[in-house]
Chain A
């Protein structure tokens, strides 16, 4: 599980509990200007993840860490597909983040509100 918040002009994505370990990352800080949008997308878990660069991948159980596919670098931290949110970035190390959050709709609303002003 990840917690998405906005602090000043940054989007903060913090891994909780054991996910810090699975994903080998505890916190990502992204300038809001580099956030293109967020989307609730349970279906993305069905997509090929590509090649794992670091982290943990047990299909059907957990996808966590950094994956490369088609020249894109994607950060994953998802157990439950129903709670997956996709955050699209630009000019960042990661092309996009796919993280599990407690309330996907609320997380998307937060990102949209923070990036549309």
Chain B
């Protein structure tokens, strides 16, 4: 009860948001959170009450920090925003958790207002979904940069034959 928090709550919530966005709700254990956030287990329970409490804090943090400030910007440009936790939450948790559903719905409604057309919102969400498979490919090419690519190897082959 009287114990002081020895960690930065905002920082911990941000780290949790990143983890939940990548691995979804069930893919993140309390062990994962304790390790990644660098927070004692009893502090985690003391501050957030439960894993769900931390998830809701992480989702709200993401909406306030990453989503709301971009709403106006999104309506005017071709840029597809990085709103992974919001969109993963819509797929993963909203059907099972009324509070998550309310949060996601209210952001979608704000997005409708910003774009002025629900179809524009739908198109934006569709673009995010369509680009998902490219994320993995992008990461792969980035990590392959140090290794010679298949094309480079082929190009050196003819010189050997000569």
Contact = CB atoms under 8 A, between A and B. Distances in A.
B41 A88 contact: no
B53 A37 contact: yes
Contacts of B31: 43
Contact of A88 (B1, B50, B98): B50
Contacts of A10: none
Interface string A35-49: 011111111100100
Contacts of A96: 42, 45
A38 B48 CA distance: 11
B42 A38 contact: no
Interface in A1-47: 36-44, 47
B37 to A, nearest CB: 14
B119 to A, nearest CB: 33
Contact of B49 (A44, A47, A69, A88): A88
B74 interface: no
- Most chain A CB neighbours (cut-off 10 Å) among B34, B42, B52, B97: B42
A97 B47 CA distance: 16
A87 to B, nearest CB: 9
A70 B3 contact: yes
Interface of B: 1-3, 29-31, 34, 41-42, 45-46, 48-53, 97-99
Given A70-B3, A71-B2, A72-B3, 18 more contacts: A36-B50, A37-B48, A37-B51, A37-B52, A38-B50, A39-B50, A39-B52, A40-B51, A41-B30, A43-B30, A43-B34, A43-B41, A47-B41, A69-B42, A72-B1, A72-B46, A88-B49, A88-B50
